[in-house]
Amino acid sequence: MKIWGKSKKKNADFLIFTNFAEVMSQLDVILKPIKSEFEHFQQMFSHFVDTDNPLLLDVLRHVVQRKGKQMRPILTLLFARLYGSVSDATYNSALSLELLHTASLIHDDVVDESTERRGLPSVPALFGSKVSVLSGDFLLATSLSYMSLIENIEMARVVSRLAQELADGELLQQHFSFSDSVTEEIYFSIIKKKTASLFSACARLGAMSAEASNEEIEKSARFGELVGLCFQIRDDIFDYFDSSEIGKPTGNDIREGKQTLPLLYALKQHENAEIMQLVHQLGEAEITDEKAKKLTSFAIENGGIEYAEKVMDELRQQALDILPKEGDAEVLESLRAYLTAVVTRTK
């Protein structure tokens, strides 16, 4: 079953929403050159900590249970393979980044008062805010401990800068939540820090662990950043459609005071007194379901989704252009499939 049909784009590679079999086929292609390495990483992630603290153990078991497709460590492994081989430094980098990402998600759920994450109860919903904050702190410290095993100060700096970017992005988003002064420039600044910085660090550390050249490392990081921007735009598009496949209700971002690319474009292109009044109310109080529906419908009806898809496709092409023309053909095919999976994912 396809969800919401196909994109209007002619490129058959650019289906907006694909069925489960197609997603699994994409994942098989992505993992083909790193299948054994990814299995080893998953084993490491499932046993990343040994603790005799029963409460912490319950939290960590829940965290492992709800892990997603782990697309970020896959990116680290692929770039290590592209420029050499997967080493202990690659594994420790991938694990450090995934733990940092997990810590940030727990803290985000506390800040946003989210009750669900990846179709399961969030950590705050199960254990409360106090336990969640402390558990997130524990994961952050564990993340840094894995980076210390590499004994490479430059790689450690990448993780430290990333932690700063993630916190900075969350604070920036909080500052502009329920604000009527958000611009497209501000939107991209937020998602670059909150989402793209993590993908960029994953690709960068993968290349660094394989001792790639400085030019190769910078191109890898830029590829990751572009992937992250695409990832977040796709995630934001989900908010304008209602489907149980996605795991969040329509207009959830707007109810939380967040203006994303489709709405920002529609507002810029079309003047509407009633809609502008609703936008101004974003600066005053949370939006009701009825008002959120009006804003999402306005964005859809006035080209917001098409514009967001167009921007995402342009970023996707920039990422493809960054990939080296020569190299391991299987890994390059995996990276192209990875990018396609990001822009065509269903949740």
Residue listed under structure tokens 């980098």: 93
* 3-class secondary-structure state, position 181: coil
d(CA 204, CA 222): 8
Quick: pLDDT tens for 179-220: 778 899 999 999 999 999 999 999 999 999 999 999 999 999
Give the pLDDT band of residue 11 (cuts 50, 70, 90): very low
Q: Kindly state whether residue 263 falls inside one of the protein's structural domains.
A: yes
The better pLDDT of the pair 12, 40 is held by 40
Quick: pLDDT tens for 276-292: 888 877 756 567 788 88
Least confident of 9-23, 101-115, 161-175, 322-336: 9-23
Contact 201, 73 (CB under 8 A): no
The reported pTM is 0.88
Q: Kindly state whether residue 138 falls inside one of the protein's structural domains.
A: yes
Q: What is the CATH number of the domain that holds 292?
A: 1.10.600.10
Give the Å distances, CA to CA, from 40 to 26, 70, 199, 290. Answer: 20, 13, 21, 48
Q: Kindly state whether residue 111 falls inside one of the protein's structural domains.
A: yes
b or e along 101-121 (b: 16 or more beta carbons within 10 Å of the residue's beta carbon)?
Answer: bbbbbbbbbbebebeebeeee
Total number of domains in the chain: 1
Q: Kindly state whether residue 122 falls inside one of the protein's structural domains.
A: yes
Domain region containing 151: 26-336
